[in-house]
Amino acid sequence: MKIVESLKIKEKVYIEKLKNGLTIMIIPKKTTNKKFVIWGTHFGSINNHFIVPNTNEEITLPDGVAHFLEHKMFEQENGINSLDKLMALGVDPNAYTTNNHTAYYFECTTNFEQALDELMDYVQHPYFTDENVEKEKGIIGQEIKMYEDDPGWQLYIHALECMYQKNPIKIDIAGTVESISKIDKDILYKSYETFYHPSNMAMVICGNFVPEEILEEVKKRLIKREEQGEIRRIYEEEDSAIQQKYKETFMEVSTPLFAIGFKDKIEQKDIIKRHIAIEILLNMLIGKSASLYQELYSEGLLMAEPDISYDFSEQYAYVLITGQSKNPKKIEERLKEEIKRQIENFDVEQFERLKRKVYGDFVVEYNNISDISRMFLSDFFKGINSLEYIEQYGSVSTEYTKQILTEVFDEKNEIMSIVQPKG
């Protein structure tokens, strides 16, 4: 196995790419009794147009297939729901779908081998019928309607709609009631055969394991699959400009919610370095220790510390700042002033302090086996080894961060979504 090690934080990841194409990452943790396994496929909500390997058939899926497939994977031909079976073993199982991947996982302290048996059984044995697919449409339809009534989710979706014109990231991960009505068992099987091939999947295992031993345990539970070529994913070309500047919605909220976003260019070169710089800048501009946040909070303009994030893949990249305020437009105005102030007079002392803080936050994640496992899986599908963040922190200089500040936090890239109280 290939070993990637960070001497700075004394962490290792053992990486093996099997003959069938599956990549397995093992992160030994000798100081914990907990064990965590997550198995993911590079198939998310944005992967709805592609060319099937080996046959060259071009397929366009209805919105929401990846999420629908995730829901159906637990149901087995013998009538047993694998989620229930795993819970009966005393383990903590679940699954999720994002824009670019789907994952199935469990965490446990006991019954590890039985749980691994079940996980690797249900993920490799889909069971779809006309009846169980139709039944699921009702369940997911209710979930979609629930999110349509969720102010926080609508705030997020509307922010993406403001930023993106054609990119499917702006479409709800679950799809719409109309789009899922077009899903049938044939679509699910076709999607499964294409995207749930080992060559399009990865597994992360974290806990007190001997890497060579747990690797063999996984290998003997894998079923044989025919070789598959590369999946060619098709995306419409997205303009760098935002779609619209502002969107306002009225819902049942007591205080307005706001999202301020900045559409970033899709920049794969130095993406880790760029990500670190943006995290530092977000903390400098409106993080908990920033002077702007302290002022807004003391004036009663911010109800609490805002959520700050940067998300990216090979198809999208954006900054998002969300929170609650009686006057969201005043928050936007003051943020613009702070960005301008930092561009004109960059606070080097604050930069150095928050650079250390962001580094510390990242290191702390390695204390939680579920956090680091999810992180390694997510980063893998972006072409990144998570330990690279530790190694590249030192290369993020003051000058580079000032350059990113000017480039990313440009007013022409900025949007605002607001959910106002009804009436």
CA distance 207 to 27: 7
Instruction: Name, in order, each residue with C-beta under 8 angstroms of 71's C-beta and a sequence gap of 6 or more.
Output: 136, 139, 140
Do 132 and 140 contact (CB within 8 A), yes or no?
no
The string of DSSP codes covering 163-180 is H-SS-GGGS-TT--HHHH
Cite the active site residues. Answer: 70
Q: How many CB atoms lie within 10 A of CB 166?
A: 12
Q: How far apart are CA 351 and CA 233, in angstroms?
A: 39
> CA-CA distance, 373 to 119, in Å (whole number)?
16
Closest residue by Cα to residue 68 from 136, 123, 114, 134: 136
Are 192 and 13 a contacting pair, CB within 8 Å?
no
Strands ordered across the beta sheet of 35-41: 2-6, 11-17, 23-28, 201-207, 35-41, 102-108, 92-97
